[in-house]
């Protein structure tokens, strides 16, 4: 068996998956902006209109959180720099995503407060908040393990498979949270056959394919 040829094949397929991930990731951003700006009331955290506040939630939870998490996972394919710089970019993108995610989550609570609605009653909210908390813990553990100078190489080697596996699992949990959120919003809006309903479906499909492509890029990249 030609090991070098296999590595080349894996690397080529990983690069293709990375390109596909960027296509679907950006497509989902564009579709979501069209939906929120054209069909809904717009995006404004400080608005007196509760629906504008609510729209901050899907926008930041995908465009600010999930999209950046995917970009962070692909850093080792897209950032042409030293390994140390790649690690810093990887951790930095995750951190920015977490900060934007906090704003996105607070927008949902703010919307509930404006309409006197109960918090944390849907499956979407349970999955979403659990994913967010676990990813925050994953980031802290990764920072102490892979960025702290006192961490030994043996510890890093033992933790790496679990770090990668955990990141991939949390990516899929984030996708599930995003899709259940879109389904919940579509149900609230009562859309079934019109253009807005199809737009929401295409947005969800693009998010799903973005996540799958990111995972393929990461998985194949480890063999390339």
- Helix pair angle (123-142, 83-115), 10° resolution: 150
Q: What is the share, in percent, of the chain residues with pLDDT greater than 90?
A: 71
| Predicted TM-score (pTM) of this structure | 0.91
Confirm whether 134 is domain-assigned.
yes
* Inside any domain, residue 24: no
110 to 89, 105, 106, 144, 187: CA distances (angstroms): 31, 9, 6, 33, 21
Q: What is the pLDDT of residue 5?
A: 46
Task: Answer yes or no: is 110 within a domain.
Answer: yes
Could you tell me the residue range of the domain that residue 177 belongs to? 29-66+82-208
Residue 6 domain-assigned (yes or no): no
Where is 100: in which H helix or E strand?
Answer: helix 83-115
pLDDT at 224 over 60: no
Give a yes or no: residue 216 inside a domain: no
Residue 77 CB coordination number (10 Å):
21
Rounded-to-integer distance, Cα 113 and Cα 44, Å: 16
Percentage of the chain exceeding pLDDT 70? 91
Q: Is residue 13 part of a domain?
A: no
Distance CA 39, CA 179 (A): 19
Query: What DSSP character marks residue 48?
Result: S
State residue 3's pLDDT score: 42
CA distance 116 to 190: 21
Least confident of 8-17, 18-27, 58-67, 69-78: 8-17
Terminal-residue alpha carbon distance, the chain? 15
Smallest Cα–Cα separation from 40: which of 191, 183, 208?
Answer: 191
Q: State the pLDDT at residue 155.
A: 86
Report pLDDT for 191. Answer: 63
Q: What is the pLDDT of residue 49?
A: 96
pLDDT reading at 6 higher than 70: no
pLDDT at residue 8 in the model = 57
Highest mean pLDDT among 4-8, 144-148, 162-166: 162-166
Q: What is the rounded distance in angstroms from the CA atom of residue 142 to the CA atom of residue 136?
A: 10
CA angle 219, 159, 152 (to 5 degrees): 130
pLDDT tens digits, one per residue of 101-110: 999 999 999 9
Structure confidence at residue 80 (pLDDT): 82
Segment 139-167 mean pLDDT: 88
Q: What is the CATH number of the domain that holds 59?
A: 1.20.120.1770
- Average pLDDT, integer, range 142-155: 84
What pLDDT does 124 receive? Answer: 97
Q: How many domains does the chain have?
A: 1
pLDDT of residue 149: 74
3-state secondary structure string across 129-155? HHHHHHHHHHHHHHHHHHHCCCCCHHH
Q: What is the pLDDT of residues 208-218, one digit of tens each?
A: 999 999 999 98
Q: Are 15 and 77 in contact (CB under 8 A)?
A: yes
- On whether residue 94 sits in a domain, the answer given is yes
Its sign, for the CA torsion 31, 66, 42, 22, is negative
Asked if pLDDT for residue 9 goes beyond 80, the answer is no
Residue pLDDT, tens place only, 81-114: 888 899 999 999 999 999 999 999 999 999 999 9
The answer to whether 128 and 135 have CB atoms below 8 angstroms apart is: no
Lookup: tokens for 142: 């990764």
> Is there a domain that residue 87 lies in?
yes
């Amino acid at each position: 068996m030609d090991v070098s040829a296999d590595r080349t094949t894996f690397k080529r397929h990983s690069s293709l998956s990375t390109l596909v991930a960027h296509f679907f990731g950006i497509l989902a951003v564009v579709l979501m902006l069209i939906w929120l700006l054209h069909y809904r009331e717009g995006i404004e955290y400080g608005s007196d209109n509760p629906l504008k506040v609510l729209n901050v939630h899907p926008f930041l939870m995908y465009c600010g959180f999930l999209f950046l998490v995917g970009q962070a996972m692909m850093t080792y394919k897209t950032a042409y720099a030293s390994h140390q710089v790649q690690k810093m970019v990887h951790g930095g993108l995750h951190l920015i995503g977490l900060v934007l995610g906090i704003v996105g989550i607070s927008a949902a609570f703010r919307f509930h407060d404006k309409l006197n609605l109960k918090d944390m009653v849907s499956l979407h909210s349970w999955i979403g908040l659990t994913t967010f908390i676990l990813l925050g813990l994953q980031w802290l553990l990764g920072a102490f393990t892979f960025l702290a100078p006192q961490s030994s190489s043996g510890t890093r080697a033992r933790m790496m498979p679990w770090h990668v596996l955990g990141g991939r699992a949390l990516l899929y949990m984030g996708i599930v949270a995003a899709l259940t959120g879109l389904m919940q919003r579509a149900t609230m809006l009562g859309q079934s056959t019109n253009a807005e309903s199809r737009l929401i479906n295409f947005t969800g499909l693009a998010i799903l394919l973005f996540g799958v492509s990111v995972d393929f890029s990461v998985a194949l990249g480890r063999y390339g």
